[in-house]
Amino acid sequence: MSRRRERDPDHLRGLVRLAQHGVLGLADLVEEMHAGIARPWTAWRRLPGRTRGLTGVVYRSIRWTARQVGDGLDIALALASPRRAGCRPPARREELVAVLNGVVGDHLAATANPLAIPLRLRRAGRDLPREREALAAALPGAGGRLLLLVHGLCRSDAHWRRGDHDHGAALERDLGWTAVAVRYNSGRHVSENGRELAAELERLVALWPVPVAELAIVGHSMGGLVARSACQIAGQEGAAWPGRLHHLVFLGTPHHGAPLERGGLWLHRLLGAAPYARPLARLGAVRSAGITDLRHGNLLAEDWRGRDRFAPAADRRRPVPLPAGVRCGAIAGLLGAGAGSLRSRLAGDGLVPLASALGRHPDQARTLAFPPDRQWVGRGIGHFDLLAHPEVYARLRDWLGG
């Protein structure tokens, strides 16, 4: 396919809208800083920052131009979109879209941006049909052991393949599972994705070409939180699929949060404390709802609803235990030469501390009861290495083969 034919008007529309919102937001930010410098007595009083006179006209003109140009391009690209229906975008573009969804996915969804990823169950990079006959035709070799793979923040279903290895494909080959992957907007709240995943799994199990005897879920990073949220919501609503769930394995999942999000909150507060830099604190607020859920590991809507997600707050999550009757396992990475040192344990796999990945918490009510033989720590294995490391796969094969 030529470069010209690879262009996707829907993706271009999404980028135009995102650029338009970025210009409008930047204009507001710069004008507020300008007003704070011109009228310093207002900076300490947290008054809305708007300039006056000719300067104000300039900023209003910038916003008007951004709206007109952006809306015009959006209309033009919308007219071109039908001609590209059914075309599969290049892998690099899908990777960029996945990253954008992780960083600002809640904004994309709220503004109906074409770049927002809808939650879908996929196989070989394509959405699975949602009708019984079409699903059976798409999965002629489907068996009764269904394996679901749930990716992490800023990732997509394509990221389960690293180099020449894919955990799902290998488990199909060695153990006879039929692997299906989830693709979702990782910038939305974990609980929102969990609710949608619970509904999609209920539909998939009902339409599966043969009766589902066993269901296993493997979640990497945030994907493990989404899987736990789906299990909790499905159990509360009396769904059928949790009764078929036999295995639930977490790879580097921040069950009790990740320090990098807490660092983002710290930067947000630091900028907000300085009057002239206060507008820059908005940049810290760009990070998505999915990212702020990683501060403590929120799973449910009640963990965040009605609260300012950028305000400093203690961990108020409702404790959610591992699902009863399911063989759960946690795999963690541990970097650093002194693997047993406090520093190494806090660094964990580079993104998730060891205690968080293993579900350990000072509050016993929040500690996840992984059996000792279902906890494994990979020395010298980083967060993303968990997706392809041979020792990690050996553990998966052992646990899911029983």
Mind listing the pLDDT tens digit for each residue in 360-396? 999 999 999 999 999 999 999 999 999 999 999 999 9
Contact 39, 123 (CB under 8 A): no
State the pLDDT confidence band at 347, using cuts at 50, 70 and 90. confident
* Boundary-marking domain end, from 37, 69, 87: 87
Helix, strand counts (H, E) of the chain: 15, 10
Total number of domains in the chain = 2
Does 96 reside within a domain? no
Does 309 reside within a domain? no
Q: What is the SS3 assignment for 7?
A: coil
pLDDT for residue 161? 95
Look up residue 255 and give its two tokens: 């069950």
Residues 74 and 220 in one domain: no
Q: Residue 212: how many CB atoms within 10 A of its CB?
A: 22
Residue with tokens 């999965």: 139
Residues 150 and 71 in one domain: no
* Boundary-marking domain end, from 38, 67, 87: 87
Residues 131 and 83 in one domain: no
Tens digits of per-residue pLDDT, 55-109?
A: 554 545 555 555 655 555 455 545 555 544 445 556 667 887 888 899 889 988 9
Gyration radius (Cα) of the chain, Å: 23
Does 390 reside within a domain? yes
Q: What is the SS3 assignment for 307?
A: coil
Residues 199 and 344 in one domain: yes
pLDDT for residue 337? 56
Residues 67 and 25 in one domain: yes
Whole-number Å distance between alpha carbons of 101 and 195: 18
Look up residue 309 and give its two tokens: 């997600």
pLDDT for residue 43? 47
pLDDT for residue 203? 98
Does 78 reside within a domain? yes
Q: What is the residue range of 54's domain?
A: 3-87
Residues 37 and 182 in one domain: no
What's the whole-number mean pLDDT along residues 214-239? 98
Residues 220 and 341 in one domain: yes
The model carries a pTM of 0.78
pLDDT for residue 282? 54
pLDDT for residue 107? 85
Residues 184 and 249 in one domain: yes
CATH classification of the domain holding 251: 3.40.50.1820
305-340 burial code (b ≥16 CB/10 A, e <16)? eeeebbeeeeeebeebebbeebbbbbbbbbbbeeee
Whole-number Å distance between alpha carbons of 187 and 49: 29
Residues 245 and 147 in one domain: yes
* CA neighbours closer than 13 Å in the CB half-sphere of residue 30: 13
* Boundary-marking domain end, from 39, 67, 87: 87
| Mean pLDDT of the chain, nearest integer | 81
Closest CA to 332 of 309, 357, 306, 315: 357
Residues 130 and 7 in one domain: no
Q: How far lies 349's CA from each of 32, 35, 270, 339, 377, in Å?
A: 40, 44, 27, 11, 10
Phi, then psi, of 332 in degrees rounded to 5:
-125, 150
Q: List residues bridging with 309 in a β-sheet.
A: none
Does 358 reside within a domain? yes
Residue with tokens 């030529």: 2
Residues 204 and 323 in one domain: yes
Does 268 reside within a domain? no
Burial of 137 (0-12, 13-18, 19+ CB in 10 A): exposed
pLDDT for residue 85? 44
Does 263 reside within a domain? no
* CA neighbours closer than 13 Å in the CB half-sphere of residue 132: 6
- Indicate whether 286 pLDDT > 60: yes
**Residues with Cβ < 8 Å from 354, sequence gap 6 or more?**
332, 334, 344, 345, 346, 348, 377
Distance from the Cα of residue 272 to its chain's centroid: 27
What DSSP string describes 70-130? HHHHHHHHHHHGGGGTTPPPPHHHHHHHHHHHHHHHHHHHHTT-TTPPPPEEEETTEEPPS
- Indicate whether 32 pLDDT > 80: no
Angle 167-175/390-400 helices, nearest 10 degrees?
40
Does 194 reside within a domain? yes
Q: List residues bridging with 328 in a β-sheet.
A: 248
Look up residue 140 and give its two tokens: 């002629």
pLDDT for residue 75? 53
pLDDT for residue 343? 64
Residues 44 and 143 in one domain: no
